[in-house]
Chain A
Amino acid sequence: MNTNAKKREKAGAFLRQSSVPIMFVIICAVCIPISGLSPSYLINEIVTRMGRNVFLILSLLIPIMAGMGLNFGMTLGAMAGEIALILVSDWQIVGIPGMVLAMIFSVPFSILLGWFCGKILNMARGREMITSYIISYFINGVYQLVVLYLMGSVIPIRHGSIKLPRGYGIRNTVSLLNMRQKLDNLIPLTIAGVKIPVMTFIVIGVLCLVIIWFRRTKLGQDMRAVGQDMQVARDAGINVERTRIISIIISTVLAGIGMVIYLQNMGNIATYSSHSQIGMFCIAALLVGGASVDKASIGNVFLGVILFHTMFIVAPKAGAAITGDSMIGEYFRVFVSYAVITVALVMYETQKRKRKSLEGQKLAQAQKGEQNKGQKEENEA
């Protein structure tokens, strides 16, 4: 009986944890037929988007492991990646070498920004998420200052195709035509009409292995410890602050590299908006994959990308098919992204509180049991 109850409890917990993915499976299942999109188109799109987004989403895993929640500050890495790409494309370094160079150049920016972000987050303990969220806005201001005013005036930018006609500042879009999908197509492979970005997947695979390896290092172990109980970790001699900063730096660096991969697939940089929504979409995708604020795995990333982007592709079409207005679907998917994050945050906070109130119930039950026993004894006497 006991084992049965336990099983039921486990099943319940599983259902609760996977409620978001299940909801998305349902949304997708309903929307796909309505949208009228052909399966081959859909699969092609999903595969492309996986190659584009997975690396970025993977960058979120390490701060979650270190107990710092969803790193809304990954936008910082995205900005570092964009700055590196703008510079590289002004230097006219193209193709794969251009990408590699952009990745290398994004790293120092990412480290600097990540360090800043980590420092601030250490000062705002207990409200990391809202702080990292505001940091992303703040740094966005700095980014605009650099890109809109300093580039071309202080930082040399030669090409008129990148620079605004007024002589400084970067245009709204910077073309990456000579880098476009160079990584994806490095090893061309098409299976049943589906184009597979083999090399991108290989890079993603390597990152997954690195993350798995990282979890088994001393630093990874320390991060898990810090994530679960900072005080205990500190008493054990772990440098908590440093560990937290490192986790944010790693995340930012990965996000910077991920952004380069993302943009090579897109083929152009929307200078002032590419990064601004990227954090939100990545976090939403991760949560859709069944992750929570304090727990996320590589599996969540892949499941999340597939489900979230399926919804993303079919929603506008399905919305148009139902209401005759394509904007409805556009708004719907934005709404869903935000709603998913909201729901995940609410669930996380309520569960945190529920855990606290469990103790009292246990005590009441214990006493009831004791009293019952006492009464029985009395009765027997």
Chain B
Amino acid sequence: MNEEKTPLLKMQGIKKDFFGNQVLTDINLTLHEGEVIGLVGENGAGKSTLMRILFGANMIRETGGYEGEIMINGEKVQFHSPFDAIAAGIGMVHQEFSLIPGFTTTENILLNREPTRKSLVSDIFSERLNTLNRKEMEDRAAAAIELMGVNLDQKMLISDMPVGHKQFTEIARELSKKHLKILILDEPTAVLTEKEADALLSAIRGMAQRGIAVIFITHRLHEILSVCDRVCVMRDGKLVTDVAAKDTDVPQITKWMVGREVSENSKPQAGGEERHASAKTILSVSHLWVDMPGETVRDVTLEVKEGEILGIGGLAGQGKLGIPNGIMGLYQAGGKVMFKGEEIPLNAPRKCLDASFAFVSEDRRGVGLLLDESLEWNIAFPAMQIQNKFLKSYLGGLVKWRDEAAIKEITQKYIDELAIKCTDSRQKARELSGGNQQKVCLAKAFALNPSLLFVSEPTRGIDVVAKVLVLDALKKFNRENHVTIVMVSSELEELRQTCDRIAIVSGGRITGIFSASESAETFGALMLSNVI
């Protein structure tokens, strides 16, 4: 029946690439008034990029725009900024809160859209000198809250609120916009308690009845099934399925999300687990918690075997990144870490490095590199500081002089070995491309000759060729130097190709460890099992 009418939103042939890296291919999506669709997919499947295009995000324009058409009520639109999108009736609730902590619920709901009373001087200076109409603000906020169907204290400060209420405030803000037609909810339930999530779901239903179309992004599949009319599954930048919610179930969606045609060169490691079945445990972690913003680890217990490559996978925000960062002492952590039978104190990076750990951070530019220094410094620095390499001692060790020649030599060695593209070893790290920067980070870790190497998101934001090189280098390092590697990645496929065993983190806890040869569906289910 709906098909007869002009759809409210129609996205046609949407394509997007980031500097040649195709992230969206030919997406077609329609949405009708009062319809709720669930958009699911792994991290990096392209959901966020698609929504950013729809919302007119600046970063899309800055990276060269997109191909394809967006039509609202049958008319082609082109958004130059989120404000255009808002004017066209699109509202979006982001994962990160966009709220002013010292303002009340009401003030936040009506932020920069406050009803005002005309004041005398506003004609002379500007409209902004009109006084706020508090009464009407309260009324309008109340109306928006009621539309949502959840109870919120309008006078409460955001900073005093539980997380769930912050989320509701955000949604209420969108609802308070008069022409709201389409509401995009990006993982709104991630921070909610069970009860709050239920309230939100019924709110979504309520909104839909009032004619608002909702695009609902979540990893909690049962929520999708309970509230959505249709489910759209994205994988690798493609819209793989678009079915009515009543015709599918959780296992099927999971399969769509992770299922890939297994090609020749991406065969999972065979017999990985057997290879190290008898190996002894080199690292054991128990009851680890890490306070890493956005990647909180709640309670992780994990054993790593000598000589293996252990993969840690999971969805973004579930805590997988927190594990290496916590163990290495970069974020506040608690729990117990034993290495070769000795306890390694937490929150002390130096102790970890002395115990011959090394870490390649996912935050290349923030943590991994000295952007304004030369490659020589970047590669040699930790080894110099921790192991006194590349130093000449004078006056009986009183003066430890930098040995520029040795530094140059080791840098040159890694430049050749990892094929780092640079003008020379003195080039500033800032000037390299992402892939080459990543190789520098690896070289830095290799130069430490660690016995245990943590690698976090080694292929994030680098091109395909560099990806292969980096992963091969890791494998080679593992095989030839007998270095145990713990590799954290959001890309399950990459983990399956590289690792012996894969642990999946969900909700800040390990939900399962299997051999890499286990089916992708199993891992997919684990990823979603404990999502918060």
Q: Which residues of A contact B (CB under 8 A)?
A: 213, 216-219, 221-222, 224-225, 228-229, 231-233, 235-238, 357, 359-360, 363-364, 366-367, 370-371
Contact = CB atoms under 8 A, between A and B. Distances in A.
A217 B102 contact: no
A371 B107 CA distance: 40
B293 interface: yes
Nearest to A213: B131
A218 B126 CA distance: 10
A363 B293 CA distance: 11
A236 B83 CA distance: 9
Residue among B101, B102, B293 with the highest chain A CB neighbour number at 10 A: B102
Contacts of B289: 363-364, 367
B130 A217 contact: yes
Interface in B353-408: none
Contacts of A216: 131-132
B197 interface: no
Contacts of B111: 225, 232-233, 236
B490 interface: no
11 contacts: A213-B131, A216-B132, A219-B128, A221-B132, A222-B128, A225-B103, A232-B98, A235-B98, A363-B334, A367-B289, A371-B287
A222 B110 CA distance: 11
Contacts of B131: 213, 216-218
A229 B291 contact: no
A364 B112 contact: no
Contact of A218 (B99, B129, B293): B129
Interface string B279-313: 00000000101010100101100000000000000
Most B CB atoms within 10 A — which of A218, A222, A228, A371? A218
Interface residues of B, number: 31
Given A218-B127, A367-B299, 14 more contacts: A213-B131, A217-B129, A221-B132, A222-B112, A228-B101, A231-B98, A232-B100, A233-B111, A233-B112, A359-B293, A360-B331, A363-B296, A364-B334, A367-B298
B451 interface: no
Contacts of A363: 289, 291, 296, 298, 332, 334
A53 B299 CA distance: 58
Contacts of A229: 99-101
Contacts of A237: 83, 112
Nearest to B331: A360
Closest 5 CB pairs of A and B: A360-B332, A360-B291, A219-B128, A236-B112, A236-B111
B511 interface: no
Given A363-B291, A370-B299, A221 B114 contact: yes
Contacts of B107: 221
Nearest to A364: B334
Given A218-B114, A219-B129, A235 B82 contact: yes
A225 B102 CA distance: 8
Contacts, number: 79
B318 to A, nearest CB: 15
A217 B128 contact: yes
A357 B132 contact: no
Nearest to A219: B128
Contacts of A228: 100-103
Contacts of A225: 100, 103, 111-112
A371 B287 CA distance: 9
B116 interface: yes
Contacts of B296: 363
B119 interface: yes
B126 to A, nearest CB: 8
Given A228-B101, A236-B112, A237-B83, A359 B128 contact: no
A288 B289 CA distance: 43
Contacts of B332: 357, 360, 363
B100 A218 contact: no
Nearest to A246: B128
Contacts of A238: 112
A222 B107 CA distance: 11
A218 B289 CA distance: 44
Contacts of B293: 359
Contacts of A235: 82, 98
A371 B335 CA distance: 11
A321 B129 CA distance: 53
Interface in B38-66: none
Contacts of A217: 116, 119, 128-132
A236 B102 contact: no
A337 to B, nearest CB: 30
A359 B291 contact: yes
A219 B127 CA distance: 9
A37 B296 CA distance: 62
A247 to B, nearest CB: 12
Nearest to A371: B287
Contacts of B99: 229, 232
A237 B287 CA distance: 44
Contacts of B126: 219
Contacts of A357: 332
A364 B289 CA distance: 7
B296 to A, nearest CB: 7
Contact of A236 (B98, B116, B298): B98
Nearest to A225: B100
Interface string B95-124: 000111111000100011010100100000
A162 B308 CA distance: 87
